[in-house]
Amino acid sequence: MSLANGFLPMTMEEVQELGIQQLDFIYVTGDAYVDHPSFGAAIITRVLQANGYYVGIISQPDWKNDESIAVLGMPRLGFLVSSGNMDSMVNHYYVSKKHRETDAYTPGGTAYKRPDHATVVYSNLIRKKYKNIPIIIGGIEASLRRMAHYDYWSDSFKRSILLDSQADILSYGMGERSIIEIADALNSGISVKDLSFIAGTVYKTRDISNLYDYKLLPSYDDMVADRLLYAKSFQIQYCNTDSFNGNTLVEPYPNGLYIVQNIPQKPLSTQEMDDVYALPYQRAYHPSYEVQGGVPAISEVRFSLISNRGCFGGCNFCALTFHQGRTVQVRSHESIIEEAKQIIQDKDFKGYIHDVGGPTANFRQPSCSKQLQVGVCKHRQCLCPQPCPNLEVDHSNYLSLLRKLRNLPNVKKVFVRSGIRFDYLMLDKDDTFFRELVEYHISGQLKVAPEHICNAVLAKMGKPDNVVYKSFTDKYRRLNQKIGKNQFLVPYLMSSHPGSTLKEAVALAEYLRDGGYMPEQVQDFYPTPSTISTVMYYTGVDPATMKSVYVCKNPHEKAMQRALIQYRNPKNYGLVREALKLVGREDLIGFDKKCLIKPRKIVGEYGLKKECKIARPKESAQKTKSKKTIRNVHKTKNFARGH
């Protein structure tokens, strides 16, 4: 099924043009329709199409109009609903809860084209129009809210999104396997109410007598009453995210209702990954958006290549464990090179492949060989707090891929921008990849994510001790000098993460001072659903140990922590000064090179600083305008400015 323009149908006229009497599925998404494998809607709809199902797209329907959901009629098998490539609340709001002014996933970058909690709103709209049609929800928003969870934006503890959405079944994770199993079951005549057996799904029921080998989580009501029970529940969930050793999870609700999470779907094999990325994507936004200026999000991925999914990095603030899992899945070199050749044929391609990677670019195999037989370890991470003895470190496959890509005709440069896990890189005894990365695959600066420098905070983040980052920066500098390049490191830093007090924020500022870094952007910790860090933020304890963790929630303190990282910005002066005084670090206010800020109480027409205790030139001296007086005035002004 395809139209002359190659896209799936978005109007009834296009459905009729294809000679289709009734669509099998209608996919409702909060994003604009972009037929590119970096967009979840494109993958799921193309996978369904490849399996013989007719699929239509309703993109960003008007949720205030009931008829907006009926523009393609009623599907034969069901509606598929997703908020889009992002959680709708993260898409809408900064961590300050101020609304974002733009939306990269909307034509023209226009904001306000989707509702808050889009998956719930769209599903309820469908249920209002079609009482009995099966509704399957999926995507990042549904995946991370599949069980009871803390919602940062309302500062409340919410029940499973499956209940609030009135949907029948939830497909969590990447979904290629489960969506076909759901489609085939519905197509065979099985009622959606009976779909309780599909891996990678969540369903609701009043009867769990047929379940075995499951783990019973604390009830929703009990978790509302006691936050520590939520921490315990989350830890159980976190230890059951692997398809090989995970258990079925059951979460009780009032009136005898249960939410049941089946074990995760198995990772895709390399051949299955290749098949997914070989589908006939148009690699562009729908032509109807051209008049509105296109869809900005495509620019980030248009000339980039996805080589893997999944991550064993174990960062506590990242939701990848709950969505893609810890087992790394990869595409073959042949598949990636074939896609690269398609990119090269694009009329706008200038010779630069912008990225080759995924969640972590330099992960091209599972962390150890046993994972594909017995799964990932439940109670330890691969890299932190110390690397696992069974960790297999090898960059040869990724290096070979990059060499092949940069040798393709009409390719000038192949960049790596999606993130290098520097601690994994430092464990490689062979420097070949690191050297070639520096020589061929950096566009003047390499972005890495140390996140912080205080070990106590790094431990709560699931990141390695700062000594690892220090050794990485030293080696990066030496390699650049050896090759004769002057390329920079751009460190991603995070303020206000659980465990970080003003004391740690000051230590980070001192580190930046000593290193000469001047970060232009700072990420304040954002409590998104289904991360260990968010559980810490909400409960005040580390779910792995149940020990207390300091949590910065006061907006003013958060502003001070953020300002300290950008202490050179004059706009942050007041906040930095206040923070330093609060922690008794007035020694960092002064004119010494170790100071973060200078005294700044402005008086008089010369802009002199009262705290400098330098006398303003006397009036009589100004009148005489002697050379000596003028020279002294200039000297005083320059000294007050720190010159």
Give me the amino acid identity at 482.
Answer: K
> 107: cis peptide before it, omega within 30°?
no
Rounded percentage of the chain residues whose pLDDT exceeds 90: 87
Nearest CA among 381, 400, 401, 399 for reference residue 391: 381
Beta bridge partners of 448: 491
Give me the amino acid identity at 276.
Answer: V
Q: Which fold has domain 12-199?
A: Rossmann fold (3.40.50)
Digit-coded pLDDT (tens) for 320-351: 889 999 999 999 999 999 999 999 999 999 99
34-71 burial string, b = 16+ CB within 10 Å, else e?
Answer: bbbbbbbbbbbbbbbbeeebbbbbbbbbebeeeebbbe
Helices and strands (H, E) in the chain, number of each type: 25, 24
Residue 160 near residue 146, CB atoms below 8 Å:
yes
Beta bridge partners of 309: 329
Residues 6+ apart with CB under 8 A from 615: none
Claim: this prediction has a pTM higher than 0.75: yes
**φ, ψ at 580 (rounded to 5°):** -60, -40
Residue 123 near residue 170, CB atoms below 8 Å:
no
**φ, ψ at 477 (rounded to 5°):** -65, -45
Give me the amino acid identity at 372.
Answer: L
Q: How far is CA 439 from CA 364, 396, 411, in A?
A: 20, 16, 16
Chunked into runs of 10 residues, the chain (643 residues) has average pLDDT values of 82 95 98 97 98 98 96 98 97 96 97 97 97 96 98 98 98 96 98 96 97 96 98 97 95 97 96 97 96 96 96 93 92 98 96 95 92 88 92 97 97 92 96 97 92 96 96 96 92 95 97 87 92 98 97 96 95 96 96 93 47 40 40 36 32
Name the residue ranges covered by the structural domains of the chain: 12-199, 606-640
Q: How far is CA 397 from CA 122, 341, 361, in A?
A: 43, 20, 12
Which pLDDT does position 601 carry in this prediction? 65
Which pLDDT does position 602 carry in this prediction? 47
Residue 489 near residue 445, CB atoms below 8 Å:
yes
| Token couple for 167 | 């949907």
Which pLDDT does position 4 carry in this prediction? 65
SS3 track for 229-291: HHHHHHHHHHCCCCCCCCCEEEEEEHHHEEEEECCCCCCCCHHHHHHHHCCCCCCEECHHHHH
